[in-house]
């Protein structure tokens, strides 16, 4: 009776030890994979893969067309959002102030008629992308579903090792 009682008191400890062994034996997660940002586009966009440098050209307004018939509509989260931060700092290699000044100058030079369109949530971004031909935006990886068209960046999807948008 006493032996059984001792075993039951050890059970949680053994479970914890087992769990620790399982976790420590599994491969270590690649840095940043859980924080990847997915780049999604409207279904009709005739592109499946973009080099990171082309994604930067789109974010900076240097590329305005997907093809001769379809204009890019860039949707960017409002300041404070991590999706915006990643797009500006990782992809454009700029600060928030430099990104704003870049777009003010871009419009002022008459190179493009307007700056990025602002969206206030991932839900709003997903909704606008689904309804706007040529639209592109950035959302958390976990919110991307099979119903969305997620672009490969440099041949990789978010979550894959080596994906750079995070």
Partner 1 sequence: MVERLKIRRLARGGQGLSAALVAAICLWPSAARAQGSAAQSHEHEATGDVREYPSLKIAGFGDVNFFATKRVEGPRGFNLGQFVLHMTSELSPRVTFFGEVSLSARSDAGTGTPPATGFNTEVERMILRFDYSDQLKVSFGRYHTPINWWNTAFHHGQWLQTTITRPEMIQFGGRFLPVHFVGALVEGTTPAGGLNLGYQAGIGNGRSSVISRGGDPGDTNGKRAYLANVFAKPNWAFGLHLGGSVYADTVTLANARVFSERILAAHVAWQKETPELIAEFASVRHEEAGSPATTNHAYYVQAAYRLPEPAHLWKPYFRFEHIGVDASEVVFATVLRLDGATVGMRFDLSQYAAVKGEYRSWTRGEGTVRNHGGFFQVCFTF
Asked if residue 116 binds partner 1 (CB under 8 A), the reply is: yes
> Judged by CB under 8 A, which of 41, 86, 87, 119 binds partner 1?
119
Listed ranges 5-13, 15-23, 125-133, 147-155: which one lies at the site for partner 1 (CB under 8 A)? 125-133
Asked if residue 164 binds partner 1 (CB under 8 A), the reply is: no
Q: How far apart are CA 79 and CA 120, in angstroms?
A: 9
Asked if residue 114 binds partner 1 (CB under 8 A), the reply is: yes
Asked if residue 62 binds partner 1 (CB under 8 A), the reply is: yes
Listed ranges 1-9, 21-29, 128-136, 150-158: which one lies at the site for partner 1 (CB under 8 A)? 128-136
Taking CA atoms, 59 is separated from 71, 94, 100, 115, in Å, by 13, 11, 12, 10
Asked if residue 104 binds partner 1 (CB under 8 A), the reply is: yes
Which residue lies nearer to partner 1 by CB, 70 or 157?
A: 70
Stated length of the chain: 166
Q: How far apart are CA 38 and CA 147, in angstroms?
A: 13
> Judged by CB under 8 A, which of 14, 71, 145, 162 binds partner 1?
71
Size of the site for partner 1 (CB under 8 A): 44
> Judged by CB under 8 A, which of 56, 83, 86, 139 binds partner 1?
56
Q: Name, in order, each residue with C-beta under 8 angstroms of 63's C-beta and a sequence gap of 6 or more.
A: 54, 57, 72
Which residue lies nearer to partner 1 by CB, 30 or 132?
A: 132
Q: What is the DSSP secondary structure assignment for residue 87, as one 8-state letter?
A: I
Asked if residue 107 binds partner 1 (CB under 8 A), the reply is: yes
Q: Which of 26, 39, 31 is nearest to 148 (CA)?
A: 39
Asked if residue 166 binds partner 1 (CB under 8 A), the reply is: no
Helix/strand/coil for 136: strand
Question: Do residues 59 and 92 touch, judged by C-beta distance below 8 A?
Answer: yes
């Amino acid at each position: 009776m006493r032996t059984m009682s001792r075993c039951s008191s050890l059970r949680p400890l053994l479970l914890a030890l087992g769990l620790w062994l399982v976790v420590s034996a599994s491969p270590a997660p690649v840095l940043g994979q859980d924080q990847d940002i997915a780049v999604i586009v409207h279904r009709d966009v005739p592109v499946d893969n973009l080099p990171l440098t082309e994604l930067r050209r789109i974010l900076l307004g240097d590329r305005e067309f997907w093809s001769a018939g379809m204009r890019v509509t860039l949707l960017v989260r409002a300041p404070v959002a991590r999706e915006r931060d990643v797009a500006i700092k990782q992809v454009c290699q700029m600060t928030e102030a430099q990104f704003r000044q870049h777009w003010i100058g871009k419009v002022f030079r008459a190179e493009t008629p307007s700056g990025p369109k602002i969206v206030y949530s991932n839900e709003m971004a997903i909704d606008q992308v689904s309804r706007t031909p040529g639209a592109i935006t950035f959302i958390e990886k976990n919110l991307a579903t099979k119903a969305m068209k997620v672009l490969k960046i440099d041949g990789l999807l978010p979550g894959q090792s080596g994906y750079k948008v995070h």
